[in-house]
Structure 1
Amino acid sequence: MKSIKNTLLGHLAVILLLASCEKEIKFKQKEVEPKIVINALQHPDSVWVINVSGSTSILDKNKPGSLPNATVSIKDEGGNVLEVLNHHSDGNFISTQGNKPLVGKTYQLEVSHINYKTVEATATFPSPVPFEIVDTSKVSFKSEESMRVKIRFADPIAESNYYFIKVMVTYKSYWFDEFGNMIDSVYNIYPESIGSNDLNVENLDENNSKAMELYVKDNLINGKTTEIDLYLNYFLFQHSEYTNITIFFASSSKEYYLHKISKNKYDATQGNPFAEPVIIYSNIKNGIGIFAGYSYSAISLK
């Protein structure tokens, strides 16, 4: 088996749908108040980036948009302001001081705007949980030629941990001139689907045997050393154009986990008129969206 090198590499938007019809409808219920929308799924390898936009009333014909004039403050657990972020573009407020969240710390977010109620949220950034690859082998998974990758990790004792697993692939593509001579090459990085039969693993894509992310909850494995079999497309290991395959094992806060689970379920029901309504989890006081943290360990297979 090839030697495996440990690496740490750097990595949703809230969708608002407004519908209108030609016939005027009189609403008897109280009009829903517009709110600030926060999108901030943050990890310690990246400086603070908080996306801020505004929702609109259901009676408002204007589309929701970014709020570049908002005041976005990052505070410590005691409420002391650490930095006021600057607006960069498209509603993204970024740390200009290079500040990043620290593992094990809790932070408060406050966003204010003259046209909206001030919103607040709290996020804790869990420590990454290391893992190892103990075996790889070529197998058949759901009638597909696959590479089985067995990973092992030790779940921390007396903690509620929420994990997700994803795979990122680097693909090298080439540019040729009219005579067939290679003139340039470019590396593309994209997520790759993975599967698992493990009872501790959730695949939210009910229509497919594999998904772009798998979720693990520790209610059955609390404090135990656990092995999980993952299945990747075998062709990734057959062709030299796939120059890197990296498994990310992420430890997230409960808020992050609940948001991702509900968002995936929401996406899966779109276009199905018979599906039960799904509410996307939010931890934003007086607003909509998510402010949550995660950290990860990563291992490159190739």
Structure 2
Amino acid sequence: MKNITIINIMIIKVIIIKVTTLSFLIALIAGCNPDNFRQVVEVDIPEHESRLVLNARISSLDIGITALVANSLGILDTSAYDIPEDATVRLFRDGELLGNDFSFMPGKLKYFLSLDEPLGTAPGLYRMDASTPGYEPIFAEQRMPVPVPIHSLRVERDGAIDDEGRRADGIEVQFSDPAGEENYYALEFYYEISEVQPGGDTLTYRNPVYASTLDQVVQYGYHYEQVLTDKSFNGSSYTVSLYAYPGALPEGAPNARLVARLYSLSRDAFLYDLSLRQYYDALDNPFAEPVTVHSNVEGGYGIFALSSVAEAGVPLE
């Protein structure tokens, strides 16, 4: 009788263990439901009021000026942008109209203004207006930055080390930063080769040169390869050291030279270019923080930016 009782107790324990194990497995399987690891957060997106958008980036070298005029769309709006063909776009310098109204170019979907001569580096307050039926008019203002001359431009074959420790052609650009103000810069390079034709005419070919740098002061922009501020060298001379990979600069070509352009950017031009690069870097990256592209247009969105340009050249051997 005692043995039967012990056997019954053992059977009950086995049943309890099986039931406990089965319950645990059921709970584990239920807990693995993907919905249990998903959190749905409802976000109220405010209603978007469509406004005009203006995009115009102008340098002191420009003799033809283009401007894009469109409308803004909400974040979830998948409809096409409206690019009006009857907008009125005007550019003023110190209150005086430059040329005539911009004309629409259907092939490029942009507005264009032809000047008699390059815009130039003379200081002045520039204003661009844009208006079209159905939208509130917009405008933006910019002062032409003072150009900063390049003191020296040097090229040394195999004179630099790239970010992987390999030899590269070195490029150095030196300039003096004006003191007592915030200044913003961008660098651009190209090489040109001049050839004299049998008839006596000279043809000049230009090709961009893509340079990189290990200088921590320099950042990568969107339209410009290198952008920087004078926060770390305000009022003093500064040299930007860069490198170009082998083959980027021609060798043995007669009448070849490297040209450096130092852009003095308005603050809005700098912030727009930097934020646009950051926006595209973060695009489709689920771990990146959202980036707001800089805008300076009153009554709407977009950018009106100015830059003045200084150039220097050096022969390529």
TM over 0.5: yes
| C-alpha displacement of 1:86 | 1.6
* Counterpart residue identity of residue 296, structure 1: V
Per the alignment, do residues 238 and 73 of structure 1 end up closer, same or farther by CA in structure 2, a change over 3 Å counting?
closer
TM-score using structure 1 length: 0.74
2:203 corresponds to 1:196: no
Judging changes above 3 Å, is the alpha-carbon distance between structure 1 residues 39 and 204 closer, same or farther for their aligned structure 2 residues? Answer: closer
Q: Indicate the residue corresponding to 1:112 in structure 2.
A: 131
Match of 2:93 in 1: 76
* Of 48, 51, 54, the match for 1:38: 54
Check conservation: 2:53, 2:302, Cα contact below 8 A: yes
Contact 1:148–1:230 (CA<8 Å) still a contact in 2?
yes
TM-score (norm 2): 0.71
Q: Does 1:141 align with 2:162?
A: yes
Q: How many angstroms apart in 1 are the aligned matches of 2:78 and 2:213?
A: 45
- Cα deviation, residue 146, structure 1: 0.9
Matched with 1:13 is: none
- The answer to whether the 8 Å contact 2:224/2:273 transfers is no
SS at match of 1:258: helix
Match of 1:167 in 2: 189
Contact 1:191 1:212 in 2 (8 A): no
Instruction: Name stretches of at least 5 consecutive residues in structure 1 with no aligned partner.
Output: 1-25, 173-185, 206-210
Does 2:116 correspond to 1:95?
Answer: no
AA in 2 matched with 1:155 = D
> Between Structure 1 and Structure 2, which shows a larger proportion of helix residues?
2
- 1:283-302 paired onto structure 2 within 5 Å: 283-301=296-314, 302=316
Task: Classify 1:61/1:197 alpha carbon distance in 2 versus 1 (closer, same or farther; 3 Å).
Answer: closer
Provide the secondary structure at the position in 1 that maps to 2:262. Answer: strand
Q: How many residues align?
A: 258
- Taking a change above 3 Å as real, the CA distance of residues 266 and 61 of structure 1, as seen in their structure-2 partners, is closer
Aligned to 1:18: none
Larger radius of gyration: 2
Residue 23 of structure 2 is matched in structure 1 by none
Matched, 1:280 2:293: yes
Mark the CA change 1:70 to 1:198 in structure 2 (over 3 Å): closer, same or farther: same
For 1:240 and 1:160, locate their aligned partners in 2 and report how far apart those are by CA, in whole Å: 41
**Closer, same or farther: CA 84–134 of 1 in aligned 2, 3 Å:** closer
Percent of residue pairs bearing the same amino acid type: 23
Distance 1:28 1:162, change over 3 A: closer
Instruction: Report the Cα offset of residue 69 of structure 1.
Output: 0.6
Indicate how the Cα distance of structure 1 residues 241 and 280 shifts in structure 2: closer, same or farther if over 3 A, else same: farther
Q: Describe the SS at the equivalent of 2:279.
A: helix
The amino acid of 2:116's aligned partner reads G
Residue of 142, 147, 150 corresponding to 1:128:
147
Return 54-63 or 85-94, whichever deviates more: 54-63
**Quick one: structure 1 residues 192 and 94, their matched pair in 2 at CA, closer, same or farther if it must change by over 3 Å?**
same
**CA shift at 1:203, angstroms?**
3.6
Q: Alignment RMSD, CA only?
A: 3.0
Cα deviation for residue 133 of structure 1 reads 3.1
Shift of 1:159: 2.5
SS of equivalent residue, structure 2 residue 136: strand
Separation of aligned partners in 1, 2:111 and 2:91 = 11
| Counterpart-to-counterpart distance in 2, 1:244 and 1:52 | 38
Higher fraction of strand: 1
Higher mean C-alpha displacement, 192-201 vs 236-245? 236-245
What residue in structure 2 maps to residue 256 of structure 1?
Answer: 269
2:176: which partner in 1? Answer: 154
- Of 63, 67, 88 in structure 1, the residue corresponding to residue 84 of structure 2 is 67
Deviation at 1:240, TM superposition (A): 5.3
Residue by residue over 1:94-131, the C-alpha shift from the partner in whole angstroms, topping out at 9 and shown as x without a partner, is 22453654421111111111121211100111122111
Write the deviation string for residues 3-46 of structure 1: whole angstroms up to 9, x where unpaired: xxxxxxxxxxxxxxxxxxxxxxx996542011212111101221
Question: Larger relative contact order (C-alpha < 8 A, sep ≥ 6)?
Answer: 1
- Structure 1 residues 113 and 27: alpha-carbon distance in aligned structure 2, compared to 1, 3 A threshold: farther
What are the superposed Cα offsets for residues 229-285 of structure 1, whole Å, 9 maximum, x if unpaired? Answer: 111123223545795543221111000000001001111111211110000000011
How far apart, CA to CA, are the structure 2 residues paired with 1:28 and 1:237?
Answer: 54
SS at the partner of 2:169?
A: strand
Q: Which AA in structure 1 matches 2:180? A: A
